[in-house]
């Protein structure tokens, strides 16, 4: 799903991170691995298993929301900042198949003080838009392993 010329650098996570989306220490999580693109976008190339289905053969809407939320939060984290979701708006365009490769992309649109405006999208293997979101993330303090 990646273009041959695309250069992606892995984003590291702390081993004790228990985040449901990206935490390696989460026993029940998605274990998403994000990559940083040269243009500052974040990319994830997961195949989400059937155990996260809503309707048979398709991901639960809450899991789709989680994927988009994770991509948007990583755009802020890629700048060395910790932030939580302040607001998120989702457009579910097409059902997202379970156990099929997808491409998750996130971008930081702008920042103002502690607020960061972001967007994310999920594409299928043919590049069709399946879902997209916009969000505002608010910077937080503290070292919680994000």
- Tokens 């700048």 — which residue? 79
Per the CB < 8 A criterion, the answer to whether 64 and 122 are in contact is: yes
CA atoms of 33 and 3, how far apart (whole Å):
18
For 57-98, the pLDDT digits (tens) are 999 999 999 999 999 999 999 999 999 999 999 999 999 999
CA atoms of 140 and 122, how far apart (whole Å):
26
CB within 8 Å of 36: residues ≥ 6 apart: 8, 9, 10, 11, 42, 43, 78
Q: Is 128 exposed, middle or buried (0-12, 13-18, 19+ CB in 10 A)?
A: exposed
pLDDT above 70 (res 146): no
Q: What pTM was computed for the model?
A: 0.90
Q: Provide the pLDDT confidence category of residue 12 given band limits of 50, 70 and 90.
A: confident
User: Where along the chain do its domains lie?
Assistant: 8-139
Q: How many residues does the chain have?
A: 146
CATH for 8-139 (3.40.50.360, 3.10.129.10, 3.30.420.40, 3.30.420.10): 3.10.129.10
């Amino acid at each position: 799903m990646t273009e041959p010329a695309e250069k992606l650098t892995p984003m590291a996570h702390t081993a004790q991170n228990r985040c449901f989306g990206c935490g390696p220490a989460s026993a029940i999580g998605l274990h998403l691995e994000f990559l940083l693109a040269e243009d500052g976008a974040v990319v994830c190339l997961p195949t989400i298993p059937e155990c996260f289905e809503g309707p048979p053969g398709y991901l639960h809407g809450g899991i789709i929301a989680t994927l988009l939320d994770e991509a948007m939060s990583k755009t802020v984290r890629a700048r060395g900042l910790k932030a939580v979701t302040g607001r998120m708006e989702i457009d579910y365009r097409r059902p997202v198949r379970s156990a099929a490769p997808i491409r998750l992309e996130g971008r930081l649109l702008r920042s103002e003080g502690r607020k960061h405006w972001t967007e994310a999208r999920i594409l299928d293997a043919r590049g069709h838009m399946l879902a997209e979101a916009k969000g505002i993330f608010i910077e937080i303090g503290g070292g919680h392993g994000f």
